[in-house]
Amino acid sequence: MVAEELAQARNLPANLAVIPDCPVFVVLHKDPLRERIDVRVSRVLLLDEDVLFLAQTEPPVGSHMSGVDVEVALLAEDKNGTMRPFGYVGRLLDVQHDFLEDDMTIQAIAVTAPKPGDFFETSLRMHYRVPVDEEMGVVIRLEGFDEPELLDFSAGGARVSVAATEAAFASLAVEQSIPFRLLFLGSGYAAGDGIVRSLIRSEDGQSATLGIFFTNMEIRDIRYLERMVARTVSVCRQREGDAEYV
C-alpha cells in the first residue's frame, strides 16, 4: 500500500511529508497525569535515507538524551481544512555540533526518519486554548509590563502581547519567570509565576508575543482557574467548535 493510500485508510492528510525548512515540533516529554508537556520548535534540515536532521531547539536538546524516544510533529490540514498536528515517534540518535548548512556550521538533532504509516494525529498541548475577545472580561497583569494584551489562555498558560522597547526586550529571555495575575472581571483572579516558554518579536520591533507557562500557584488559585477555564471553554466550544492549531 502506497503512502497516500495508507494516509487515506487511517484518515490522515495525504500531504504529510518532512521536507527541508518544514517547521516541526519536538515533543520531549508528556505527562498527562500532571498535565505537563515539553514541546520545542525546530525545522527540517535534511532527510538522509533513514535519518532526519533537525535544527537545534531553544532551549537546546542535550547530547545526554541520545537514545531517548521523542515525538516529532508537524502541522497539516485535516479533511475539514483545519490545521492539526500529526506526529511520529522516533529515536534521538545524536546531537551534532558541526552540521554544515549554507557554508555555516550549526547544531543539529539527528532522529530516526518516519516510515509510511508511522504518523498519527497528536496534541501539542494538554489544555484547550481559549482565544480572548473584549466581551469575556478576562485580562492579565504581568510584573514589569504596562497594559499587556492577553491573546489566549488555558489552565496551563497563556499567550500575551507586550510593548517591547529595546531595554525591555533585552531583559526578556526564554525560561524567565514573571509574576502574573489573571483577572476575571467581576469574579476574581488567579495568581502565580509565568515561565516564558517562547518569545517572538514583531517585525516592527515595537512588541513581543510571550508564551508563558503557569507555575507556583496556590491550590486555591489552581482550582479557581480550572473552574473559570472550564466555564469559558464550554461557551467557546458551543460557539466556535474545537480549537484549531494556527
114-167 per-position pLDDT tens digit = 987 888 888 776 556 778 887 788 999 999 888 899 998 887 889 999 987 666
- Please give the model's pTM, rounded to 2 decimal places: 0.52
User: Positive or negative CA dihedral for 187, 192, 197, 203?
Assistant: positive
β partners of residue 210: 160, 199
Region of poorest pLDDT, from 76-80, 114-118, 148-152, 176-180? 76-80
The DSSP line for 137-155 is: -EEEEETT-SSPEEEEE-S
Which position has the higher pLDDT, 206 or 237? 206
Residue (of 30, 45, 42, 32) closest to 75 by Cα position: 42
- Would you call 92 exposed, middle or buried from its count of C-beta atoms within 10 A (0-12, 13-18, 19+)? buried
Distances (CA, A) of 73 to 5, 86, 154, 160, 202: 20, 5, 21, 24, 25
Q: From the CB of residue 209, how many other CB atoms can be counted at a distance below 10 Å?
A: 16
Region of poorest pLDDT, from 100-104, 163-167, 175-179? 163-167
DSSP 236: H
Distance of CA 164 to the CA centre of its chain: 22
DSSP 128: P
Specify the pLDDT at position 54.
96
Cell, residue 153: 489562555
26, 18 in Cβ contact below 8 A? no
Region of poorest pLDDT, from 6-10, 148-152, 187-191, 202-206? 6-10
Q: What is d(CA 192, CA 183) in angstroms, rounded to the nearest whole number?
A: 12
177, 164 in Cβ contact below 8 A? no
Which position has the higher pLDDT, 135 or 87? 87
60, 72 in Cβ contact below 8 A? no
